[in-house]
Amino acid sequence: MRIEQYTSKEKLPALMKGSYYHSAEFFHLLEDSSGITPIMFVAYDGDEELGHMLAILKRDLRLLPPGIYHWCSIYGEGVYSEKCTDRNTLFHHFMQRLIKALDMRYLFIEVRHITDPRTTYRTFSRFGFVPRDDTRIYISLHSRNPEERLSRAYRAHIRRATERGVTYSQATGAEEIKEGMKLLKKYYASKISRYFAPTDLLHKILLGSTQESPDARMFTVRNKEGKMIGCSICLYSEERVYLLYSCGLRKSHPLLYPGIMSVWAAIEDAHKRGIPHFEFAVSGAPLRKNTGFRNFILNFGGKQVSTIRWYRYRWMWINKILRKIYV
């Protein structure tokens, strides 16, 4: 077995299908985006692919505290072929190559959305990763109508907003997407703990998506005068919809419930298209057990699933101290 490392789309070979987070299409978009460098690790047995994993190197300018920050994110374990009999060992080799590839600029590695934390626990422990309890919240759209899962208060809020002339729809044109992106960027500018992807990357994903097989969609919420008061962006991967970002002008339009309507527009669209699961990509700060945002999304009828988010910091002495606290 050999593992190849690719940082250029010109050299990236054809890859097997799987999670969008580890796809060649996502790699191409990331490479053309500012502040992001993708690394694809591909394992071969001879000329046959055994699996691949995409790591996303991010660079972000923060004002508080001021500086340019570098870190690495991985969403899920990767994609593996049916002939790969030992995925845990292959994942171990992927992580080993990633750690060697990163230089001293990168503050930490974050791994999230692991399907079964038990299968990867040994690998993370060997490399000194620090586990933190996390929560994934999703809604099953195949067993019941999403309206039945809403809390009584949210059902009333949606009804009142509709009676007051609020409408929502999918953004299709470039100008409408640009308007929604401006609203989202302004909203997340004050969210220090939330990372907002480069707008050029989101533009390319949204404009490149098709109705038949979408990669992402934007939904906009407007009042009866036609002003945009809410917006949300969803990513589609393996019969699952991930709500990446959502916002609403709640302070200026409190009686129209734009924050609720922006999320509801995405949930209702996923249900109409027959997608079985809707998941919130972010369910609140992992270091806090109770957050207002988590309570907000639970009112849509979501189910909480305990999981683990893994971190490995640049300084091993920090990892050792944190592992004594949390392991």
Mean pLDDT of 141-168: 94
Highest mean pLDDT among 110-124, 148-162, 229-243, 286-300: 148-162
Quick one: pLDDT band at residue 99, thresholds 50, 70, 90?
very high
**What number is the average pLDDT over the span 180-202?**
83
- Summarised one tens digit per residue, pLDDT across range 250-274 is 999 999 999 999 999 999 999 998 9
Q: Is the pLDDT of residue 177 over 60?
A: yes
Statement: residue 309 has pLDDT above 50: yes
pLDDT single digits (tens) 104-152:
889 999 999 888 788 899 999 999 999 998 888 899 998 889 999 999 9
Pairing of strands 106-112, 66-75: parallel
pLDDT of residue 320: 95
39-49 pLDDT, tens per residue? 999 999 988 99
Report pTM: 0.85
Split at pLDDT 50, 70, 90, the class of 287 is: very low
Mean pLDDT of 157-180: 94
- The yes-or-no verdict on residue 68 having pLDDT over 60 is yes
On average, the pLDDT of the chain sits at: 89
Per-residue confidence (pLDDT) for residue 288, from 0 to 100: 54
pLDDT given at position 284: 55
More confident: 104 or 218: 218
The average pLDDT across 5-33 equals 91
Question: Is pLDDT at 164 greater than 50 in this prediction?
Answer: yes
- pLDDT over 90 at 63, yes or no: no
Whether the per-residue pLDDT at 169 is higher than 50: the answer is yes
Is a pLDDT exceeding 80 seen at residue 216? yes
Residue 229: what pLDDT? 97
Report whether pLDDT(285) > 70: no
